[in-house]
């Protein structure tokens, strides 16, 4: 509230988001807000609904109900294109890239540089720009014209990250971006998060590497079985507290059920 009085509008507010998959209640009314330049860590058990919530925000999943306000305007995303046009980029946990398309092609998929009045791909520019973007992000992939199916898991993930950050997003969603990365590459991603958030980009980071969260996050949101259970300040929260928030509910519920 005080933020809004000071003229600072939240970058994004998700209100009471619900999504059912048949018998599975993936999201049971989640409310989440992220400020401009803020880094929010989203944690929770497997199947807590983190990826589903983020896919809703990226337009890849249409929620059953709920409201999304982006930069003060109520929006609704029918397709990922709608979200992408507003500057929401996501690195997905699964199905990120097209294996048969080369590195540069994947990087520009959906917004290829064109020539001849938009009719033809500008392949030369695509490779040159891809080289520039990868170098700027310190991503070591020597060739941009090999199909990504031939790359290592970490290299593939690096390409997916590069795709998300390259086009100047306002909100960057990273769903387990470091899962396949080596130590040095993880550091690069954490530095990247710090750099872009300093430039005003909001970041939502999902990871099971809890120690990373404390290094880059401003706030930590804990999800549990399709609900948001806790919203913590990263600076004043201890690792023990966070772990207990993630698992404690679990034991309580189980005991409750047993009785």
Partner 1 sequence: MTVTSQRVVTTRSARASAHIGRHAQTIAIAVVLVALLIFFAFTADRFATTGNLFNLMRQIAPTLIVATAMTFVIGTAGIDLSVGSTVALSGSLLAIVLQNGWDPTVALIAIIALGALIGFVNGWFSSYQHIPPFIVTLAMLSIMRGTALRATEGYSTPIDGDLWIVQIGQGRIAGVPIPAILAVVVALVGWLVLTRTPFGRYVIGLGSNGESLRRTGVNTRKVGLAVYVLTGAAAAVAGVLIATRLSSGSSNAGSGFELEVITAVVLGGTSLFGGRASMLGTILGALTLGVIANGLVLLHVSPFYVQIVQGGILLLAIFANSKVWAKFGAIRK
- Tell me the closest approach of the beta carbon of residue 78 to ligand ATP, in angstroms: 17
How far does the chain reach from its first CA to its final CA, in angstroms? 41
Report DSSP state, residue 147: B
Here the tokens at position 87 are: 């500057």
Distance CA 75, CA 70 (A): 7
Here the tokens at position 27 are: 């999201």
Instruction: Using alpha carbons, select from 146, 116, 118 the residue that is nearest to residue 130.
Output: 146
- Quick check: 64 binds ligand ATP (CB under 6 A)? no
- Tell me the closest approach of the beta carbon of residue 133 to partner 1, in angstroms: 16
Q: Which residues contact 87 (CB under 8 A, 6 or more apart)?
A: 168, 169, 170, 171
Residue 256 CB coordination number (10 Å): 8
- Quick check: 21 binds ligand ATP (CB under 6 A)? yes
Out of 51, 144, 157, 178, the only residue in the binding site for Mg ion (CB under 5 A) is: 51
The site partner of 109 among Mg ion, partner 1, ligand ATP, none (C-beta below 5 to 8 Å per kind) is partner 1
- Quick check: 148 binds ligand ATP (CB under 6 A)? no
The site partner of 239 among partner 1, ligand ATP, Mg ion, none (C-beta below 5 to 8 Å per kind) is none
- Quick check: 93 binds Mg ion (CB under 5 A)? yes
The site partner of 156 among partner 1, ligand ATP, Mg ion, none (C-beta below 5 to 8 Å per kind) is none
Out of 31, 93, 227, 244, the only residue in the binding site for ligand ATP (CB under 6 A) is: 93
- Quick check: 44 binds ligand ATP (CB under 6 A)? yes
Instruction: Using alpha carbons, select from 7, 93, 95, 102 the residue that is nearest to residue 47.
Output: 93
Nearer to ligand ATP, 50 or 156 (CB): 50
- Quick check: 247 binds ligand ATP (CB under 6 A)? no
Distance CA 36, CA 201 (A): 6
Distance CA 156, CA 142 (A): 13
Instruction: Using alpha carbons, select from 73, 55, 53, 54 the residue that is nearest to residue 11.
Output: 73
Footprint of partner 1 on this chain (CB under 8 A)?
58, 60, 79-81, 84-85, 90, 92, 95-101, 105, 109-112, 114, 119-121, 123, 140-143, 145-147, 149-151, 163
Footprint of ligand ATP on this chain (CB under 6 A)?
21, 24, 26, 44, 46-52, 93
């Amino acid at each position: 509230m005080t933020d809004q009085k000071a003229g600072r509008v939240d970058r994004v507010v998700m209100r009471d988001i619900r999504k059912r998959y048949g018998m599975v209640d993936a999201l049971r009314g989640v409310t989440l807000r992220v400020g401009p330049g803020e880094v929010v860590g989203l944690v929770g058990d497997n199947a807590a609904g983190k990826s589903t919530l983020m896919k809703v925000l990226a337009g890849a999943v249409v929620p059953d109900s709920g409201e999304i306000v982006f930069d003060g305007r109520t929006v609704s995303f029918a397709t990922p294109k709608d979200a992408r046009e507003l500057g929401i980029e996501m690195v997905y946990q699964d199905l990120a890239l097209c294996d048969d398309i080369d590195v540069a092609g994947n990087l520009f998929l959906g917004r290829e540089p064109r020539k001849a009045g938009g009719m033809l791909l500008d392949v030369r520019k695509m490779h040159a720009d891809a080289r520039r973007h990868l170098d700027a992000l310190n991503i070591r992939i020597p060739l941009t014209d090999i199909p990504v199916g031939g790359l290592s898991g970490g290299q593939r993930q690096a390409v997916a990250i590069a795709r998300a950050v390259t086009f100047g997003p306002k909100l960057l969603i990273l769903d387990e971006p470091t899962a396949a990365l080596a130590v040095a590459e993880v550091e690069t991603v954490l530095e990247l998060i710090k750099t872009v958030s300093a430039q005003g980009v909001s970041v939502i980071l999902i990871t099971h590497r809890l120690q990373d969260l404390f290094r880059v996050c401003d706030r930590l949101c804990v999800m549990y079985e399709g609900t948001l259970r806790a919203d913590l300040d990263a600076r004043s929260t201890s690792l023990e507290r966070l772990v207990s928030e993630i698992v404690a509910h679990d034991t309580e519920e189980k005991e409750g059920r047993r009785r």
